């Protein structure tokens, strides 16, 4: 497995080795020993989520109030997503910085993001499916959102999908109404 820390400290990209033959492909998408060696701690799994999205669906930017925070290990099992990680830790020297990784059913990469980081996914193909391994069970009172189109973040969202067709962004009412980054700077 190749492991690369992203530009946002506390986030890593995991690219597994693919073992293929006439039967298909096998890969180890998560291996605790390799994870712990790279990240410096174990991953405590408390919940697994899965979502399927049409092309253009943008979920996020979501985060969990820290503490307690929620770490995630995200893998695309079908289709393709642009996975975006944003540093939302107020005391971090990279506060507001973001990085992205293409997650798809070809390279089978995964992204780990630590507590205190925000997360967004843009589906680049119809029926794209992602799984999230989560370190905290869903707790609505800790759930928070930020506007994915906040100009202060300046996220470079792609205009076309995996098939080369233009994307029409589809967001939930909650995500559309989400505040900008400056709200995190208020006392």
**pLDDT at residue 170, as a whole number:** 98
The total of other beta-carbon atoms located within 10 Å of residue 58's CB is 23
CATH number for the domain harbouring residue 112: 2.60.120.10
**pLDDT at residue 135, as a whole number:** 98
Kindly report whether the peptide bond that precedes residue 68 is cis, defined as omega within 30 degrees of 0: yes
Q: In whole numbers, what is the pLDDT of the chain averaged over residues?
A: 97
- Say whether 19 is catalytic: no
pLDDT tens, 32-59?
A: 999 999 999 999 999 999 999 999 999 9
pLDDT tens, 56-73?
A: 999 999 999 999 999 999
Number of helical H runs and strand E runs in the chain: 2, 13
For residue 181, the enclosing domain spans 2-185
Per the structure, how many domains does the chain have?
1
pTM (2 d.p.): 0.96
Q: Which of 63, 73, 132, 138 is catalytic?
A: 132
Q: Which of 62, 63, 73, 119 is catalytic?
A: 62
pLDDT tens, 77-131?
A: 999 999 999 999 999 999 999 999 999 999 999 999 999 999 999 999 999 999 9
- Say whether 132 is catalytic: yes
């Amino acid at each position: 497995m190749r492991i690369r820390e992203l530009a946002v400290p506390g986030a890593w990209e995991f690219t597994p080795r693919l073992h293929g033959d006439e039967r298909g492909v096998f890969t180890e998408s998560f291996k605790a020993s390799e994870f712990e060696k790279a990240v410096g701690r174990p991953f405590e799994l408390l919940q697994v989520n899965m979502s399927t999205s049409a092309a253009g669906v943008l979920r996020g930017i979501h985060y969990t109030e820290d503490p307690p925070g929620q770490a995630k290990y995200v893998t695309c099992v079908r289709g393709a997503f642009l996975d975006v990680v944003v540093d939302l830790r107020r005391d971090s020297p990279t506060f507001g910085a973001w990085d992205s990784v293409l997650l798809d059913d070809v390279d089978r990469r995964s992204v780990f993001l630590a507590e205190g980081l925000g997360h967004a996914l843009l589906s680049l193909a119809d029926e794209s499916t992602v799984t999230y391994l989560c370190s905290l069970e869903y707790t609505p009172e800790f759930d928070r959102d930020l506007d994915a189109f906040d100009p202060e973040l300046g996220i470079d969202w792609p205009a076309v999908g995996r098939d080369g067709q233009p994307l029409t962004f589809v967001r939930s009412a909650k995500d559309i109404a989400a505040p900008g980054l400056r709200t995190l700077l208020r006392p």
